[in-house]
Amino acid sequence: MGYTTSSIVKTRPSPPFSQSLPAVETQSSTTLPPPLSYDEKKYTELFLKDQIQIWIFVGGYISIAIVSAIILPRIFHQLSWYHIVVIYTIAPVLAFCNAYGQTGRVILHGKQATEYGASSH
């Protein structure tokens, strides 16, 4: 028990605001980042160009919702079709909140290993 407690105390991350803030330098904060190279510009352009069109996304989401509203009540008799419709209506909001919260955690702690309870030995 003592070994476990001491190892938890040693490996526990410090609170994000316990460290002192660095001094702000006025001259270094006004410098611009170096310009992107030709390759980096092409990579960025290619990455931003290849996106799923919104009508494909919405059509796929609605079709999966319809199939789920038909099939799931047949598998789970306690569910009705309107339960599934409510779930598919609320799910994007919850997914956005989860992604927003996880992003804040990564920014504050600076590491992604602690996401969703992943343990580091």
Chain-centroid distance of CA 36 in Å reads 27
pLDDT over 80 (residue 40): yes
12/43 Cα distance (integer angstroms): 39
Out of 14-18, 45-49, 51-55, pick the least confident. Answer: 14-18
Measured at the CA of 56, the angle between CA 94 and CA 70, to 5 degrees, comes to 65
Model-level pTM? Answer: 0.47
pLDDT digits (tens, 9 = 90+) for 85-121: 999 999 988 888 887 777 766 555 555 555 555 555 5
Structure tokens that stand for 68 in this block:
């789920």
Contacts (Cβ under 8 Å, ≥6 apart) of 68:
84, 88
